[in-house]
Amino acid sequence: MTEPARPVIVLVRPQLGQNIGKAARAMLNFGLTEMRLVAPRDGWPNPDAGPSASGADVVLKKAQVFDTVEAAIADCSTVFASTVRRRDLIMPVIGPQEMADQISGSPGQTAILFGPERSGLETEDVALAHSIVTVPINPEFGSLNLAQAVILLAYEWSKRSALVQPPAKDLETTAPHGEVDGLIRQLDEELVAKGYFHPPSRQQATRNTIRTIFTKTGWSSREVKAVRGIIRALVNPPRQRS
């Protein structure tokens, strides 16, 4: 699998070092390491960023500082402006999935802009982007903090990347038909002994229903043995405990 292009995350005039650190943590969780800061309010480096990054030091150490948005995105061929607010700009508005598709298909460097914590991106900042990217959000409470916004878009990008996934437990092999059939016959015999099939006119329909229950679930051999053991325990005399 070819690794898709990684976007750079551009924080425009971020205000708090803690929020920069949290954004770095969000980035690294999903495989993004290039952060660019535009005129951070409290300067850079910021001693409050490290503890909030929770180990994402590689992102903070590589972070570059720029005076303007134009300088920060000068090498980027495609730029997305993350905002939830309507603006008087005639430009495409897309969702995270389409953004990630465009990033993956872009041959050049891409960037995602995020605005200051309190006010978000200014219209002049958004105008520098090629598209607005926004997430479906409660129209009565469209408030995401900086790290939340970063993590939502970074996650969407990561779904197209080759990030290592936790090893899944191997699924058990489906039991052979004969084993499942043996379970059904055992159950049928015990149900007949208990007079379960009543009235007689519904006997075959009931048997068909039972067979469907046990054949459509993909039982493993271990599960078949467990259920057969349960049936035996229910019909046999209780074990004598010493």
Determine, yes or no, domain membership for 14: yes
pLDDT above 90 covers a percentage of the chain that reads 49
Question: Tens digits of per-residue pLDDT, 52-102?
Answer: 998 999 999 999 999 999 999 999 999 999 987 656 678 889 999 999 999
Q: Are residues 22 and 137 in the same domain?
A: yes
Q: 180 exposed, middle or buried (CB, 10 Å; 0-12, 13-18, 19+)?
A: buried
Is residue 166 very low, low, confident or very high in pLDDT (cuts 50, 70, 90)?
Answer: low
Determine, yes or no, domain membership for 197: yes
Q: Are residues 56 and 134 in the same domain?
A: yes
Going from the C-alpha of 143 to that of each of 88, 136, 226, the distances in angstroms are 20, 12, 51
Residue 242: pLDDT over 60: no
Q: Are residues 95 and 147 in the same domain?
A: yes
Residue 12: pLDDT over 80: yes
pLDDT recorded at residue 105: 85
Q: d(Cα 45, Cα 145) in Å, to the nearest integer?
A: 21
pLDDT recorded at residue 232: 87
Question: Tens digits of per-residue pLDDT, 108-124?
Answer: 899 999 999 888 899 89
Determine, yes or no, domain membership for 38: yes
Q: Are residues 194 and 106 in the same domain?
A: no
Question: Tens digits of per-residue pLDDT, 44-61?
Answer: 999 999 999 989 999 999
pLDDT recorded at residue 87: 61
Determine, yes or no, domain membership for 164: no
Q: Are residues 117 and 189 in the same domain?
A: no
Q: Are residues 110 and 21 in the same domain?
A: yes
Determine, yes or no, domain membership for 114: yes
Q: Are residues 34 and 129 in the same domain?
A: yes
Q: Are residues 114 and 18 in the same domain?
A: yes
Is residue 1 very low, low, confident or very high in pLDDT (cuts 50, 70, 90)?
Answer: very low
Q: Are residues 144 and 202 in the same domain?
A: no
Number of structural domains (the chain) is: 2
Determine, yes or no, domain membership for 31: yes
Residue 201: pLDDT over 80: yes
Q: d(Cα 131, Cα 144) in Å, to the nearest integer?
A: 19
Q: Are residues 143 and 184 in the same domain?
A: no
Determine, yes or no, domain membership for 220: yes
Determine, yes or no, domain membership for 79: yes
- The answer to whether 13 and 39 are in contact (CB under 8 A) is yes
Helix (H) or strand (E) holding 132: strand 131-133
DSSP conformational letter for 129: S
CATH code of 116's domain: 3.40.1280.10
Q: Are residues 86 and 57 in the same domain?
A: yes
Q: Are residues 136 and 182 in the same domain?
A: no
Domain span holding position 74: 8-158
